[in-house]
Structure 1
Amino acid sequence: MESLYYYPRGRRALIFSRDERKAGGKKDKYEFTTVIRRPMDVASNTSRKTLFISRASQMDREKAKEVYRWFNEQLVFSYRGKTTVAIDRFLGDNKDAVLRVLKAADSDIVEFTYKDGELTTFHRRNPALPFDFNTEESEGTKILFKIMLTVMDVVSNNKVMFLDDVETSLHTRLVEYLISLFHSSKSAQLVFTTHNTHLLDMTRFRKDQIFFVNKRDYGSSDLYSLFDYKDFREKMDLEKAYLQGRFDAVPYINEFEGI
């Protein structure tokens, strides 16, 4: 099944719907309004395994292209994804933030300059000695700058970022700082998974923002919110309660298994 709605004048209205389970031809499986021009031309060129909205975008239907552009530009799935921020403006507008991140990551960079496409860094041990960023900095530092470029683009342009294992290759303090950037943004969103129980902190998140994943015996998983636990109060120690198994979602390891 596939469908798309929009909200003209604040009311929900159909653009198209599609149900491949229905018998018959394309006209039996699709329902359209007048938003997308010549929709049956698109439907006749859409296979069962292809999204109608994707095919409509390829066939130059404007509303479909708007949807495609939104997903392509507003959703970010990697620390080092595509970014629309110019490096010189980014470093100029966010210099203090970048230096705080470098400090949180235990870097000894205390200053940097960016001029004519060249990034120069200065270190704590000898702050007067310039380092060429591209040839003299470590790969870890280069990756950190790229991460910040992506994150600040997401935050400043109110995009949505999805990250699997948010703490991968990053220090816990740095992850906490990145989360704080999203909290202070206008409407940027960060959706992430983590195995770091230290992040289970009610001073950072609301109950409705925290979800647990509990794997069943046969491989499927349950997803449920901390908000469902009405008896859990905000002043309680969430990390401790989780590790005690209060919310399930904790792997139970038999230390004698296999011996």
Structure 2
Amino acid sequence: MLIDFRVKNFRSLRDEQVLSLVAAKDNSLSDTNTLSTGLKAVPRMLPSAAIYGANASGKSNLIKALQYMRGVVLESATLIQPGQTFAVQPFRLDPSSEKEPTEFEVTFVLDQVRYQYGFSMTSKRIVSEYLLVYKAFKPQQWFERHYDSDQDKDVYDFGTGLKGPKTLWEKATRPNALFLSMAVQLNSEDLRPVFDWFARDLVIFNEQAPLNTQFAIQLLKDAESKKRICDFLTTADISISDIEVVTDKVPGQKVHFDLTAGKTELRSEEFEESRLRFTHVTDQGKAVFDLDDESNGTRILVFLAAPILDILDKGLTLVIDELDTSLHTLLVRELVRLFHRPEINRRGAQLIFTTHDTSLLDAPGLFRRDQIWLVEKDTSQASTLVALAEFSPRKNEALGKGYLSGRYGGIPFLTHHSGEVD
């Protein structure tokens, strides 16, 4: 489970912003809207969090920041070449911030062990990196790295908790690579769980990482998975009783290399191509439709239901930018409630999403106050992330109306034709 994510000086997020999924000391909806960790320090976590804000307020930048951190962890030791620079973007409307490093940190629970990992970076190099591991209440510092500009070198401090050839890993780590990533490439078993949390346990969907239609198609080839997806669509009041994966042979061309002759040639070959066929059943009869015949909302729901059901099975953390795109508000509620149902979410999966759908705020029993977050920009165009709970709304308060009236922030200022600003 993700405990919290911290970011500083990334795009519009100039000052440190913290998204926390630690449940407040509030007994409301505790059976459905909180998860037990088995840890004394953070006994209960939240299975979901909704992030609101006006267009261009910085909601998407928060998702991109976590995505960027994940990308550096996964790619810095393998895809980034020596001397290559990073495309990191600090806050550019403040000259002092533009020269400062960008900072990331995540804290998460894995197998009842709490990990706190972070690093700071510029476009040229990693400036600092550290890992704290809480196998007991007191943390163990497994490693800490910082750049010494006077000596023009990285200085490392290792704790006894980290086992393995640390000197070898240190020497292999380039200035533009993470020690964590390089050590895992060189077979560090101790650090593998941290790397794998980013690689496998953290799933992000946004404009830069759209839904993978092939993943849904593969699940639909499995009879049990297909039944679960169809059952969910029925629950969502969509009249799809069956989804068939049809595989066709299509002509194509493939380049072949002849190393002996030293030439290449283009050969005609047949490739397999999968398409979906949807069976709709009503009281009046049934019909079969192709994917293109379905509404955009149905297509998104099909391709979203597959990974969500898989994420719930495995207990992963899912982050989605604009969950409500092309989906009716009742469908969004049903998707969120999947994470709130202990009989379905047995392994502590989490859902974090941005949205403009204010009707979710007043949906009966959908959210606790600590599950709602607001993003807005100040006069310097820097984004600020604030928990709704900080405004101490009454338990019976109409949150949607309060949000739209600007009581909690997070809404746009609109200019009328008269030139007056609301």
Q: TM-score, structure 1 length as denominator?
A: 0.82
Larger strand proportion, structure 1 or 2? 2
Native 8 Å contact 2:132 2:139 kept in 1: yes
Native 8 Å contact 1:22 1:29 kept in 2: no
Larger helix proportion, structure 1 or 2? 1
Are residues 1:196 and 2:357 paired? yes
Structure 1 residue aligned with 2:226:
91
Deviation of 1:132 (Å): 6.9
Structure 1 residue aligned with 2:317:
160
Structure 2 residue aligned with 1:242:
403
Deviation of 1:207 (Å): 1.0
Native 8 Å contact 1:83 1:153 kept in 2: no
Q: Please point out which of 381, 385, 391 is paired with 1:219.
A: 381
- Structure with larger RCO (C-alpha < 8 A, sep 6+): 2
Deviation of 1:36 (Å): 3.5
Deviation of 1:22 (Å): 6.7
| Closer, same or farther: CA 113–77 of 1 in aligned 2, 3 Å | closer
Deviation of 1:235 (Å): 0.6
Counterpart-to-counterpart distance in 2, 1:218 and 1:65: 41
Q: Please point out which of 48, 52, 56 is paired with 2:179.
A: 52
Alignment-mate amino acid for residue 191 of structure 1:
I
Q: Please point out which of 23, 33, 43 is paired with 2:170.
A: 43
Counterpart-to-counterpart distance in 2, 1:22 and 1:234: 53
Structure 1 residue aligned with 2:129:
2
**1:67-117 CA distance string (max 9 Å, x none):** 22222111111272596984322123454223223x2xxx442x1166998
Structure 1 residue aligned with 2:211:
80
Structural RMSD (CA): 3.0
Counterpart-to-counterpart distance in 1, 2:335 and 2:315: 14
**1:109-140 CA distance string (max 9 Å, x none):** 2x1166998976322356455x3766x75474
| Closer, same or farther: CA 59–257 of 1 in aligned 2, 3 Å | farther
Native 8 Å contact 2:318 2:352 kept in 1: yes
Deviation of 1:2 (Å): 1.6
Alignment-mate amino acid for residue 63 of structure 1:
D
Q: TM-score, structure 2 length as denominator?
A: 0.53
Native 8 Å contact 2:373 2:386 kept in 1: yes
Counterpart-to-counterpart distance in 1, 2:246 and 2:411: 52
Instruction: Flag structure 2 segments of 5+ consecutive residues without an equivalent.
Output: 1-127, 248-273
Counterpart-to-counterpart distance in 2, 1:176 and 1:25: 53
Counterpart-to-counterpart distance in 2, 1:143 and 1:149: 10
Alignment-mate amino acid for residue 30 of structure 1:
Y
Counterpart-to-counterpart distance in 1, 2:403 and 2:300: 33
